[in-house]
Structure 1
Amino acid sequence: MATYEVEVLSPLFIGSGQKYPPLEYLTLAEEEKFVVADMERVFTSPRFMLNDFLDKVKKPGFYLGDEYPWAREFPRFKFDSSKKTLLDLKARKAEVLAPIADGQGFYLPGSSLKGSLRTLIYKINLPEIKETFNEKINESRKIPGTRKEKLSEAAEKALTGSPNYSLFRALKVGDSLPLGEESLGLYQVKVLSLTTNGYRWKILPGEQSTADLEQATSSFFVGFKPGVKLQGSFTIEEKYLRDNIYPLVNKAFFSNWQERAKEVQRQFLQKELKFYEEIGLEELKEFYQKLIQDSNDGIILQLGWGTGFNSKTLKEAMPADELKEVLNWAKIKYRENFPFPKTRKIVVEKGKPLYPTGWIKLRILD
């Protein structure tokens, strides 16, 4: 059994489905800390008055740090952040997306990494899968009641087998070893959108946008910091690929997969670099230039929240006209004469757009 090592290259968020609301956190801007309070300890403190709390929490804009600053003495977690991000969060009093964790700490689920690798395996075999993929997608969307989330099921079954006999049974990816809160930080995200003259920033909900980064809508999450490394177990069961007694289809999809994956991802990175070069975002241009330089000694891969349509789908397998038909069928918005997708989620630090979310470098260690 081998081990994978994931090096985080841009803030990585895998959600637990939970959120930290303003009544449970404090922003300590001068200390550059985001504190999630242990509310059980707050509630049992002699300083806590229940009736006072119930009166205050009913009012719009309640924020624990304003009303109960002493709650900082009862931290559940303390995450690093920049002063600017903390001040913006306090001003907006937004909910913060919480990362997945267990009793031992915060971790990368093996299922998340395996899901990204599944998509990547299809992409490195794109010439062989295009015809079947398109045929099955078009058949599925003509079946009444097909949901867009299930649109690719028939295509995947034709290409890699049914769940019980899937080619991906050969791929086993474990959860990473857990890490402590010092490996995570609080991050702010805004949505960039292409325009005919460059780009603007989205004001959500709706279709409004602004040239002023400060005025754009923000989302906040706690995720792994750039530079953090995670490790877990990794196996490709050769017996499933080698022995004829296992009735798996397209076993050659895994042939020399790591080197082919590096090349496919380098091509994708070049496209993203061109995207940011053309709209003149220097910080993002420099980020992708560095990713390309780093792509020789590992697989550069994007996963998790905020990574978007490009990293999670096989849109490259479909001719442009057919892709538009599928997007219309799925009621996904696109604009004529614009590349699809025309939006990107961007991590903003100290008032500057610095990173797309979720880029990692994957190495398989013996």
Structure 2
Amino acid sequence: MPEYALLELEVSTLTPLHIGTGVDLLHEYDYIVAGGKTWRINHGALLEAQDVDDPKQLDFLSRTPPARLLKPTDFTPQSPFFRYIMAGAPRATGEGAVLREQIKDVYDRPYLPGSSLKGALRTALASTLWKQANRTLNLTDLGFSARFAAQRYERELLGRDPNRDLLRALQVSDSQPVGSDRLMVLNARIINQRGKLGSPIEMEAIRSDTTFHMTVKVDLALFSEWAKRAGLTLPAESALMNLPGIVNARSRSLAKREEAWFAAVPGAGAVASFYRQIASVNLPAGQMFLPLGWGTGWESKTLGASLMQDPHLRETLLRKYSMTRGRRNKGDPFPLSRRVAMRVQKTPNGALQETLFLPLGWVLVSFKVVKGPQSVWRG
């Protein structure tokens, strides 16, 4: 038996994708909006162009936002005063407005972290194993922290310790970077089923139709006779080998529920149509749909709807882990809202007009085995 299998992946964004750094960029300090585009300021180059030997000028610089040092002639793609330029602009353009930062490498090139893809695959696998085992939730088995509440169940499903964790056999690389031209400014909103919009959430994001290249290594030695003798046997080997089928089944199920939810939302026809396509397409072997990153919703990050079938249990969980915000009546479905990408356009009179555009973070993963048995990751 080969020691490992190597797969090459192409991960193509179907909708805008945001994987954040946790840093908020400040308008006029980190970026500036001009000509319908968003320009990320190069602080080092801008500072080098100033006369810092003059005490008065130095005092002026300490009190002045960097964007106000720029001249109209500076706004060219060749200018050294900008690290990169993004299509689109945030709604908020006052001093101190924020833009959530997208993860990039040291050269400002966006990439897809292997940990993000592996985490999404892990969630899909755990959710499916939970259903296959016909498990029921026992509140006494849950931890006190919301972040680690289901750790006991996760260990039962995927392995009791790091040495025996099923996903130890799955090694996912970071992707190769893409150009900064694949960045955009995304205006997102929270929306409830009545169509009421929450406050704007603005961020850097990866544009649709961007393709990342990465590799996955499946450590087959961990399923060998040697591993069994060493006490390193991993659970659910067959599930890991059939991961694309598991992921696609879960993605279709999620898309059907989201299509039904958005079908009742005024003005959300485009979003419902997208989910209808995801739910109806039968992908060929070697491909899978996957929700990834920020804004894909509570269900995509957890065991999902199977936890919320019992109304009493649902209310207990929501209260125990403070999972709701704002006004919610006991017995209401959960979650009450979704995050969506908005299309923002100016009307002829200069006002901003928003329309519901797309869901967030859906990708198409295409893969092929380049080394090892072709039976790995059966589609």
TM-score, structure 2 as length reference: 0.80
Structure 2 residue aligned with 1:199, among 195, 199, 205?
195
Deviation at 1:47, TM superposition (A): 6.8
Q: What is the alpha-carbon distance in structure 2 between the residues aligned to residue 41 and residue 300 of structure 1?
A: 42
| Aligned match of 2:313 | 322
Structure 1 residue aligned with 2:245, among 259, 268, 286?
259
| Aligned match of 1:210 | none
Correspondence 1:154 to 2:160: no
Q: Report the AA paired with residue 313 of structure 2.
A: E
Contact 2:13 2:211 in 1 (8 A): yes
Structure 1 residue aligned with 2:15, among 10, 14, 17?
10
Q: What is the alpha-carbon distance in structure 1 between the residues aligned to residue 71 and residue 330 of structure 2?
A: 51
Q: What is the alpha-carbon distance in structure 1 between the residues aligned to residue 221 and residue 314 of structure 2?
A: 37
Structure 2 residue aligned with 1:97, among 100, 106, 111?
100
Q: Report the AA paired with residue 131 of structure 2.
A: P
Correspondence 1:25 to 2:31: yes
Contact 2:295 2:361 in 1 (8 A): yes
Structure 2 residue aligned with 1:340, among 324, 334, 339?
334
| Aligned match of 1:233 | 215
Contact 1:35 1:78 in 2 (8 A): yes
Q: What is the alpha-carbon distance in structure 2 between the residues aligned to residue 109 and residue 356 of structure 1?
A: 21
Correspondence 1:331 to 2:322: yes
| Aligned match of 1:205 | none
Q: Report the AA paired with residue 97 of structure 2.
A: A
Deviation at 1:287, TM superposition (A): 2.0
Q: Structure 1 residues 74, 130: closer, same or farther in 2, change over 3 A?
A: farther
| Aligned match of 1:292 | 279
Structure 1 residue aligned with 2:359, among 352, 356, 359?
356
Output one character per residue of 1:298-351: Cα deviation in whole Å (capped at 9) or x when no partner: 321111122221110113332333232122110112543432111111111122
Gaps of 5+ in 1: 58-63, 203-216
Deviation at 1:255, TM superposition (A): 4.6
State the identity as a percent.
20
Q: Residue 125 of structure 1: SS of its match in structure 2? A: helix
Q: Residue 214 of structure 2: SS of its match in structure 1? A: strand
Q: What is the alpha-carbon distance in structure 2 between the residues aligned to residue 295 and residue 182 of structure 1?
A: 32
Q: What is the alpha-carbon distance in structure 2 between the residues aligned to residue 309 and residue 15 of structure 1?
A: 17
Q: What is the alpha-carbon distance in structure 2 between the residues aligned to residue 284 and residue 250 of structure 1?
A: 35
Deviation at 1:7, TM superposition (A): 0.6
Deviation at 1:43, TM superposition (A): 1.4
| Aligned match of 1:186 | 185
Q: What is the alpha-carbon distance in structure 2 between the residues aligned to residue 289 and residue 91 of structure 1?
A: 38
TM-score, structure 1 as length reference: 0.83
Deviation at 1:9, TM superposition (A): 0.9
| Aligned match of 1:55 | 63
Q: Residue 200 of structure 1: SS of its match in structure 2? A: coil
Q: Report the AA paired with residue 138 of structure 1.
A: T
Q: Report the AA paired with residue 202 of structure 2.
A: F
Q: Residue 186 of structure 2: SS of its match in structure 1? A: strand
Q: Residue 197 of structure 2: SS of its match in structure 1? A: strand
Q: What is the alpha-carbon distance in structure 2 between the residues aligned to residue 338 and residue 81 of structure 1?
A: 39
Q: Structure 1 residues 41, 288: closer, same or farther in 2, change over 3 A?
A: same
Deviation at 1:128, TM superposition (A): 2.7
Instruction: Choose between structure 1 and 2: higher helix proportion.
Output: 1
Contact 1:5 1:363 in 2 (8 A): yes
Deviation at 1:242, TM superposition (A): 4.8
Worse-matched range after superposition: 72-81 or 15-24: 72-81
Q: Report the AA paired with residue 34 of structure 1.
A: T
Q: What is the alpha-carbon distance in structure 2 between the residues aligned to residue 5 and residue 336 of structure 1?
A: 44
Structure 2 residue aligned with 1:46, among 50, 70, 80?
50
Which protein has the larger Cα radius of gyration, Structure 1 or Structure 2? 2
Instruction: Kindly tell me the number of residue pairs found equivalent between the two proteins.
Output: 332
Q: Report the AA paired with residue 63 of structure 2.
A: D
Contact 1:35 1:75 in 2 (8 A): no
Q: Structure 1 residues 140, 108: closer, same or farther in 2, change over 3 A?
A: same
Deviation at 1:6, TM superposition (A): 0.7
Deviation at 1:10, TM superposition (A): 1.0
Contact 1:33 1:78 in 2 (8 A): no
Q: Structure 1 residues 223, 343: closer, same or farther in 2, change over 3 A?
A: same
| Aligned match of 1:313 | 302
Gaps of 5+ in 2: 1-5, 345-353, 370-379
Q: What is the alpha-carbon distance in structure 1 between the residues aligned to residue 207 and residue 278 of structure 2?
A: 16
